[in-house]
């Protein structure tokens, strides 16, 4: 019987944070005698932690969460798989640049759940992103020195009035892994309107209704961000 391939919880956590992260860009110091640098362009308004889903809205009410700020989260900007599918296989909906946001990840029965609420002047076009996800249905990538196969399936996204939505599932396996041996399953649902993005992702066999939970997350976050 083939051995079961296991992805450690620590690696799953890195994948979840990396997928929700953007790069922080720092301003360079002007050289002595150089013309003054132009005044910085104000970034998007801050996202209050209250915009995140409260624990009681998540089935099982998980109390312990690992909360992070987008500005200090792990950057994935330097990762490339050479296929043109980098954003899809790494789940990177936010481009590097000015963005504010809050996120969390928490253990739930069967796996992990993460949420990201962000504001950015460069919001993702979820319709174009969906089309790209379909084109990148199966890609072999090098994830932290370990080759893996990313298989992406676009699913019907929930309807949210006045917003774009995205829903897809990704399974990460090892090259040549037998079909009967499960890989790491990641499911993503996102809602975007204006400069606001709400993203939910679960990993493992959580059994969560992520579509409904994402709509709930949007309905919770949107009024707190003026949407």
Tens digit of each residue's pLDDT (9 = 90 or more) over 197-208? 999 999 999 999
How do beta strands 138-143 and 146-154 pair? antiparallel
What is residue 2's predicted lDDT score, i.e. its pLDDT? 35
Are 92 and 19 in contact by the 8 Å Cβ rule? The answer is yes
- Report d(CA 121, CA 87) in Å as an integer: 18
Task: Report pTM.
Answer: 0.79
Helix (H, G, I), strand (E, B) or coil at 44: coil
What is residue 5's predicted lDDT score, i.e. its pLDDT? 32
Task: Band the pLDDT of 180: cuts 50, 70, 90.
Answer: confident
- Residues 36-48: what's their mean pLDDT? 72
What is residue 39's predicted lDDT score, i.e. its pLDDT? 56
Element (H, E) at 193: strand 184-193
Please provide the average confidence, as pLDDT, over all residues in the chain.
79
Distance of CA 74 to the CA centre of its chain: 12
CA dihedral 50, 53, 55, 60 (to 10 degrees): 180
Block residue for tokens 């699913």: 155
Provide, rounded to the nearest whole percent, the portion of the chain with pLDDT above 70. 74
Block residue for tokens 């992260």: 21
> Is the pLDDT at 9 greater than 80, yes or no?
no
What is residue 226's predicted lDDT score, i.e. its pLDDT? 87
> Is the pLDDT at 26 greater than 80, yes or no?
no
Helix (H, G, I), strand (E, B) or coil at 116: strand
> Is the pLDDT at 31 greater than 50, yes or no?
no
């Amino acid at each position: 019987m083939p051995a079961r391939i296991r992805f450690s919880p620590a690696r799953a956590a890195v994948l979840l944070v990396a997928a929700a992260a953007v790069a922080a860009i720092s301003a360079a110091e002007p050289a002595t005698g150089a013309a003054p640098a132009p005044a910085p362009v104000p970034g998007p308004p801050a996202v209050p932690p209250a915009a995140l889903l409260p624990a009681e809205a998540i089935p099982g009410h998980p109390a312990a969460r690992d909360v992070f700020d987008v500005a200090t989260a792990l950057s994935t900007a330097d990762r490339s798989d050479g296929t043109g599918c980098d954003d899809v296989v790494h789940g990177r909906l936010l481009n590097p640049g000015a963005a504010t946001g809050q996120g969390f990840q928490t253990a739930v029965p069967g796996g992990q759940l993460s949420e990201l609420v962000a504001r950015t002047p460069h919001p993702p076009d979820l319709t174009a992103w969906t089309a790209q996800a379909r084109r990148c249905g199966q890609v072999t990538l090098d994830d932290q020195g370990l080759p893996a196969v990313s298989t992406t399936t676009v699913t019907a996204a929930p309807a949210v009035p006045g917003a774009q939505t995205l829903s897809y599932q990704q399974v990460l396996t090892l090259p040549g892994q037998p079909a009967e041996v499960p890989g790491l399953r990641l499911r993503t649902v996102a809602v975007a309107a204006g400069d606001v993005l709400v993203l939910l992702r679960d990993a493992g066999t959580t059994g969560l209704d992520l579509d409904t939970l994402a709509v709930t997350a949007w309905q919770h976050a949107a009024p707190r961000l003026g949407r």
